[in-house]
Amino acid sequence: MHTIYRLNANELNGQFLEALKSLFQDKEIEIVVSEVDETTYLLQSETNRKRLMESLENINLGKNLVEISPEMLQ
């Protein structure tokens, strides 16, 4: 069985460990920890990379920008 959990380090707690123990019971498991680079993940898809690059260009050129006031967020 191969399972990937993606969470913030602050979310690790006893309940998470108990869930792992319950799921895998008496089996030997391997825990590998790696920091996630969101930029790399977002740029993996050619379509997503193109969209992000176009958005950055729009920001640099000051076009197609949407301004939101703090009052609009309430």
Residue 6: predicted pLDDT: 87
Residue 41: predicted pLDDT: 80
Residue boundaries of the structural domains of the chain: 9-64
pLDDT tens over the chain, length 74 residues: 788 888 889 999 999 999 999 999 999 999 998 888 888 888 889 999 999 999 999 999 999 999 898 888 88
**Could you give phi then psi for residue 46, rounded to 5 degrees?**
-60, -40
| Size of the chain, expressed as the number of residues it contains | 74
As a whole number of angstroms, the distance between CA 7 and CA 4 comes to 10
Check if the beta carbon of residue 51 is closer than 8 Å to that of residue 57: no
Alpha helices in the chain (DSSP H): 14-24, 38-43, 46-61
How many beta carbons lie within 10 A of that of residue 71, not counting itself? 6
Residue linked to tokens 């990937």: 4
